[in-house]
Amino acid sequence: PVKVEILEVGEEGMLTEDLAYNLAVSEADILGYLYSKGVKPDTVHTLDKDMVKMICKEYDVEVIEIDPVRVEEMAKKKEMLDEEDLDMLENRPPVITIMGHVDHGKTTLLDYIRKSKVVASEAGGITQGIGAYKVLVPVDGKPQPCVFLDTPGHEAFGAMRARGARVTDITIIVVAVDDGVRPQTNEAIAHAKAAGVPIIIAINKIDKDGTNPERVMQELSSIGLMPEVWGGDIPMVQISALKGVNIDELLETVMLVAELQELKANPHRNAKGTVLEAGLDKTKGSTATLIVQNGTLKKGDVVVCGEAFGKVRAMFDDRGGRVDQAGPSIAVQVIGLSSVPIAGDEFEVLDSLDIARERANACAESLRVARISAKAGEGKVTLSSIA
Ligand code: GDP
Ligand code: MG
């Protein structure tokens, strides 16, 4: 086993055995350390949360605490649903992130999916690389949309999660069969678990000679991801992203997992969602890729995201084409904002430019105050502590 860099732990603590595996040490090492500190774990060797933290500190491993209430809250927040939406809900496409260790085949997989699953009539446009791609997957013979995010996993989960945003419904974790579980695999698993996002494992590179997928499945089950085929609850699909083997099966699995989640939104209302990416374009000015999580975003809408606000002058889809609206789960690049927003910020459509300006200024002001107090050495000031 390889030592992890980040470990997630819930209220229930963790078995010594599991912790030892994750830290790549022996159980005896951990028990010895505990005895040296005068701590005696209970008879089945369950370590409580604080013990896990103490030991991880010793081994330079960061601990993410999973709080069941927070996971539930985030699941609700992800939907961005209000009371009024509840009787107007419609199905929305799942939003999927591909994560995994470097060189295990994330880019190859996304490229293959994009190239093979774009409908003929939509193909041909210039790919703008807005970081989100709509793909059609046949379910019972009918093409169903799903959206793949191309933001690096750490951004999607790190920065955004820090702000409480949750945009992903499903994570595909790619594990190269010839390399197995590596540190970033563990990190991806920890992030997905902490955010309460279902995991699908894609065991990649099965086209290579002499590989042993069962060994990888064994490795994964020993860190708590038991394959469905062995009676567990984690779907694992053996693929070759390079040769396009079993990609249909992987996408069908995605749709099955999505169906169980009953993903819904109310398309008949003002849009809100999250900023995926933002930047400055020589010709377009400030650009932002927004993913709509509830409602429908329309050209001409007034949007506020953090300190930035403005009227949406134009919207572009993942093929660079102009579009007039974007419904739930769809990402579009918009132009017309006063400044460049921050990835992970929430956006919202408001009724007038005046309201939007007011909101943006209020946000700018509280950020300014926060910066000044931070500089004045008053310690850590967060937005919520001064709001
Ligand atoms: P990423 O870092 O996870 O995005 O990995 P890449 O998609 O860039 O792939 C890393 C390397 O693995 C490249 O040389 C790919 O051609 C290769 N690769 C990816 N998928 C497969 C596969 O299914 N089979 C084989 N043999 N090579 C693959
Ligand atoms: Mg890559």
pLDDT tens-digit map of 47-95: 888 889 999 999 998 888 876 666 555 555 556 788 788 888 999 999 9
Going by alpha carbons, the residue nearest to atom 6 of ligand 1 is 105
- Look at residue 273 and tell me whether its pLDDT is greater than 60: yes
- Residue 72: CB atoms within 10 A of its CB come to 11
- Look at residue 361 and tell me whether its pLDDT is greater than 80: yes
- Look at residue 125 and tell me whether its pLDDT is greater than 50: no
Higher pLDDT, 142 or 82: 142
- Residue 319: CB atoms within 10 A of its CB come to 17
Share of the chain above pLDDT 90, in %: 50
* Range in 9-23, 158-172, 201-215, 292-306 the model is least confident about: 158-172
* Range in 26-40, 63-77, 283-297 the model is least confident about: 63-77
Radius of gyration over alpha carbons of the chain, in Å?
23
- Among 99, 108, 185, which is best to mutate for testing ligand 1, by the most ligand atoms less than 8 A from CB? 108
Instruction: Give the pLDDT band (50/70/90) at residue 203.
Output: very high
What tokens were used for 169? Answer: 């419904």
The answer, yes or no, to whether ipTM is higher than 0.95 is yes
Residue 318: closest CA among 329, 307, 308, 306: 329
Q: Which residues of 106-118 are buried (b: 16+ CB within 10 A; e: fewer)?
A: bebbbebbbeebb
- Look at residue 224 and tell me whether its pLDDT is greater than 70: yes
Going by alpha carbons, the residue nearest to atom 14 of ligand 1 is 103
- Residue 301: CB atoms within 10 A of its CB come to 23
Q: How far is the CA of 103 from the centre of ligand 1 (A)?
A: 6
Share of the chain above pLDDT 70, in %: 84
Q: How far is the CA of 39 from the centre of ligand 1 (A)?
A: 46
Contact assessment for residue 167 and residue 78, using Cβ atoms and an 8 Å cutoff: yes
Q: How far is CA 48 from CA 10, 15, 18, 159, 210, in A?
A: 9, 9, 13, 28, 42
What tokens were used for 29? Answer: 């090492």
Higher pLDDT, 229 or 116: 229
- Among 99, 101, 103, 208, which is best to mutate for testing ligand 1, by the most ligand atoms less than 8 A from CB? 103
Contact assessment for residue 86 and residue 174, using Cβ atoms and an 8 Å cutoff: no
Angle at 196 between CA 202 and CA 19, to 5 degrees: 80
What is the average pLDDT across 8-13? 80
Ligand nearest to the CA of 109: 1
Q: How far is the CA of 186 from the centre of ligand 1 (A)?
A: 19
pTM of the model: 0.77
CA distance linking residue 349 with residue 270, whole number of Å: 6
Instruction: Give the pLDDT band (50/70/90) at residue 379.
Output: very low
Q: At what angle do helices 106-117 and 247-261 cross, to 10 degrees?
A: 90
**Atom of ligand 1 lying closest to residue 102 CA:** 2
Q: How far is the CA of 105 from the centre of ligand 2 (A)?
A: 7
Higher pLDDT, 263 or 12: 263
Contact assessment for residue 339 and residue 279, using Cβ atoms and an 8 Å cutoff: no
The model's pLDDT over 306-335, given as tens digits with 9 standing for 90+, comes to: 999 999 999 999 888 899 999 999 999 999
Provide the β-strand partners of residue 143. 138
Give 46: exposed, middle or buried? Use CB within 10 Å, 0-12, 13-18, 19+: middle
Q: How far is the CA of 102 from the centre of ligand 2 (A)?
A: 7
Q: How far is the CA of 108 from the centre of ligand 1 (A)?
A: 6
Going by alpha carbons, the residue nearest to atom 10 of ligand 1 is 103
Higher pLDDT, 10 or 63: 63
What is the average pLDDT across 110-125? 65
What tokens were used for 299? Answer: 């050209």
Instruction: Give the pLDDT band (50/70/90) at residue 370.
Output: confident
- Residue 354: CB atoms within 10 A of its CB come to 10
- Look at residue 387 and tell me whether its pLDDT is greater than 80: no
Q: How far is the CA of 355 from the centre of ligand 1 (A)?
A: 48
Q: Distance between the two ends of the chain, CA-based, in angstroms?
A: 46
Going by alpha carbons, the residue nearest to atom 9 of ligand 1 is 105
Higher pLDDT, 299 or 47: 299
How many residues would you count in the chain? Answer: 387
- Ligand 1 pocket, CB under 6 A: 100, 102-108, 204-205, 207-208, 240-242
